[in-house]
Amino acid sequence: MRVVLWIGVVAMVLGIASFFVTIPEKHHEGIRIGDASLGVETTTSNKVPVYVSVILLVGGISMVLAGARTARS
């Protein structure tokens, strides 16, 4: 099952990347009166929770192992 192997590799790469890459979020708050508007835009960067990264990594490793066993058989 090469498909399971490649899905596992992708999940492992995403799991490792999620430890380091941040996800930017933009928030815009303000008021608009007629044609005039007044507002503030803030940007924050959040990382994915650690448990999500660990689940991706462990799931990817298990899929790679399962895919390698079935490919060998």
pLDDT at 73: 63
Dist. CA 29–CA 44, nearest whole Å: 14
On whether the CB atoms of residues 18 and 57 are closer than 8 A, the answer is no
Q: What is the mean pLDDT of residues 63-68?
A: 90
Residue 71 has pLDDT above 80, yes or no: no
Question: pLDDT tens for residues 16-64?
Answer: 999 999 999 998 888 888 888 888 999 999 999 999 999 999 999 999 9
pLDDT at 31: 87
Dist. CA 31–CA 2, nearest whole Å: 54
pLDDT at 6: 92
The CB density around residue 30, as the number of other CB atoms within 10 Å, is: 9
Quote the number of domains for the chain: 1
Supply the range of the domain harboring residue 48.
2-72
